[in-house]
Structure 1
Amino acid sequence: MTVLAIDIGGTKFAAATVEPTGTITAKLEMPVGPDPTATLKDIVARIVVPGLISEEGLTGVGIGSAGPLDAVRGTVSPVNISVWRDFPLVKTVAQLLPGVPVHLAGDGQLMALGEWWRGRFKAGALLGIVVSTGIGGGLVFEGQPHLGPTGNAGHIGHIRAGEGWEACRCGAVGCVETIASGPSMVRWALANGWQQAVEPTFWAGRPVDARALAADAKRGVAVAVEAFDRAAGALATAILTTAALFDVDNVVVGGGVAAAGTTLLTPLRRAVADQAGLGFLRRLKVEPTSLGRDAGLLGAAALALGRE
């Protein structure tokens, strides 16, 4: 009953083999690189080998991908992977693993599902948010992921959060992602006078400055603090819009930027409290992921296993 879980992000791919108990038996992460298709094939080949698990031992594959996606056709068009437009992700993985069923959902949806299955959020309606290179989201109602007809339900990164803000790579203007994603926060901070104290690290050939920005915000550097406050305000708007529509009980926040911990969560909770009006919105709880970087992989495994 071992399944393969794959997590497709804007800058990294992760894969894991997972047992029905939720035990991860092997795990790999790789930077996307200039050819994401080659990266996908490489990570599958590296993990599905004798000594980790053979192809014959797999009963299913679950994939969580940054979106948008088309779950019916099995294609993905991640905003932050420009060379993948209507990329046949399900077909590609199925060709790599003939005869093994392949299931696809959004990365935010599967992060939420992972939290439901193996984390601490197991009642009512749950909204999961991935704050990273982009902003992903997903909903789980009483253990069932709400995917929508195309698989894009809960895609809160592309809710419009205000007027007069920058164009989003999705083609719209003022999306939450243009304010609250890691690269957007860094871009705004640099444009408003932030001078990074340390040289950036690199992932997939791209500078990763969000950690440095978070460190400066934690130290009280004003422009860095404001960048996180702006992000928190935009995220709160998206959270409360979603909660008003779906009567959400809990919000769980994961992703690379969310690793900043209270540097993001404190202003986010404050912004949610400030913006909430109706009583059922004021009861909303916003918490960090209890599974860390494994939440999306465990959600992908749950999808493949058909678990609630």
Structure 2
Amino acid sequence: MSDELVAALDIGGTKIAGALVRETGALTVRARRATPARASGPTVMAAVRAVLDELTASPQWSRVVAVGIGSAGPVDASVGTVSPVNIPGWREYPLVSQVRQAVGGLPVTLVGDGVAMAAAEHWQGAARGCANALCMVVSTGVGGGLILDGRPHLGPTGNAGHIGHISVDLDGDPCPCGSQGCVERIASGPNIASRAVADGWRAGPEGAGAAAVAAAARAGDPVARASYERAAQALAAGIAATATLVEIELAVVGGGVAGAGEVLFAPLRRALRDYARLSFVRELSVVPAQMGTDAGLVGAAAAAARASDVAGFGAAAQTRSERCVGPRGPRRLGA
């Protein structure tokens, strides 16, 4: 086993996390800061640097050979910039050059957070062994990444699979991305909560976030349940459209909203039966993610290791397995 490490950053609208990652996917040193999402670009970068400072201060830093970044998007990996919808202070922000400067010139690889999550789930999680899958992060925003022909598919700029900004309601509400009726505008945690409140749901002492709405739905509140059912319908429409386009056989859903469990997954599976009607997508499965909050870090490390030819990292994700679990149990890939 190699003693080399890869440093990873997971940057989103709520938090900036960092870790040193072993070739097994295990995380060693960790650091975290809240994202000052409404602050200026330099202020957001200062939080990133604070995370990196903690990592570089570790005695283990001397073993780091590459750095991976999974960021809320859109990103442009071709030039190293990010323009996250939920971090308005970063528009075409030169994140890669800033991070490279902070880590002494080590190679830095940038991917969208959904691509990072997909790489992690394919390496060690719910999509392990699947040749063609969509992996989604449903949280403050909605992101996604694709596994095609047994490998993470990044696309030219690192945004392939960004399902959150597929429009599923032509007359829907405007989205911060500039379109309207996007999956994210309906199914993200803040939008689930805001719709419930607008429709008359009253928050209790636990607050008015998506988790509180899920708890109310679980207890039988019809307004809370309706908000989750609408979110599930938007997700199902986006998943079915993606499956029809590229013939995925599995959709993996993670992120904070997925923590609602069957409050989300039961209506999602029902809605998917209505949208995925063609013969070649009818057996599409939807399952919860397995990698939890570490998915972005593990996937960013795998992407960086692959880009820098670091041996061992993500090896399982590059090996096409014999079988993939579908709605009727394991089935041979390509069958």
Report the TM-score range of the alignment, normalised by the length of the smaller protein: over 0.9
- Shift of residue 64 of structure 1? 0.7
For the 8 Å contact 2:126–2:287, the answer to whether it is kept is: no
Contact 2:56–2:103 (CA<8 Å) still a contact in 1? no
The answer for the alignment partner of 1:275 in structure 2 is: 275
Alignment of 1:20-35 (within 5 A): 20-33=23-36, 34=39, 35=43
Secondary structure of residue in 2 paired with 1:271: helix
AA partner of residue 218 (structure 2) = K
1:87 and 2:93 correspond: yes
- 1:98 pairs, out of 104, 107, 110, with 104
Shift of 1:28: 2.7
Q: Is residue 2:245 matched to residue 1:264?
A: no
Q: Please, which runs of 5 or more residues in structure 2 have no aligned partner?
A: 307-313, 319-335
Shift of 1:13: 1.1
Query: Aligned-pair distance for 1:290?
Result: 1.1
TM-score by length of 1: 0.94
- What's 2:189 paired with? 182
Residues 215-254 of structure 1: CA distance to partner in whole angstroms, max 9, x if unpaired? 1111111111000000000010100000001100111111
How many residues get paired? 299
Code of the aligned partner of 1:109: V
Q: Show the counterpart of 1:65.
A: 71
Aligned amino acid, residue 170 of structure 2: E
What is the percentage of aligned positions where both structures have the same residue? 49
Question: Contact 1:161/1:175 (CA < 8 Å) preserved in 2?
Answer: yes
Q: Is the contact between residue 251 and residue 285 of structure 2 (CA under 8 Å) also seen in structure 1?
A: yes
Q: 1:147 aligns with which of 147, 154, 168?
A: 154
C-alpha distance in 1, partners of 2:126/2:239? 20
Counterpart selection for 2:57 from 49, 64, 74: 49
Compute the displacement of 1:266 (Å).
1.2
Partner SS for 2:251: strand
Paired amino acid for 2:279: G
Quote the offset at 1:165 in angstroms. 1.3
- The corresponding residue for 1:198 is 205
- Structure 2 CA distance, aligned partners of 1:65 and 1:9? 6
Offset of residue 174 of structure 1: 0.9
The secondary structure found in structure 2 opposite 1:163 is coil
Tell whether the 8 Å contact from 2:131 to 2:151 is kept in structure 1 after alignment: no
- 8 Å CA contact retained: 1:76, 1:87: yes
Q: Is residue 39 of structure 1 aligned with residue 42 of structure 2?
A: no
Q: Is the Cα–Cα contact under 8 Å of residues 68 and 76 in structure 1 kept in the other structure? A: yes
TM-score of the aligned structures, taking structure 2 as reference length: 0.86
Structure 1, 116-125 or 75-84: larger mean CA deviation: 116-125
Q: Which runs of 5+ in 1 are unaligned?
A: 201-207
Partner of 1:4: 7
Over the aligned positions, Cα root-mean-square deviation in angstroms equals: 1.3
The whole-number CA distance in structure 2 between the counterparts of 1:49 and 1:283 is 49
**d(CA) in 1 for partners of 2:235, 2:185:** 11
- Structure 1, residues 128-169: CA drift from partner, whole Å, max 9, x if none? 111011110110124422111222211111111013211000
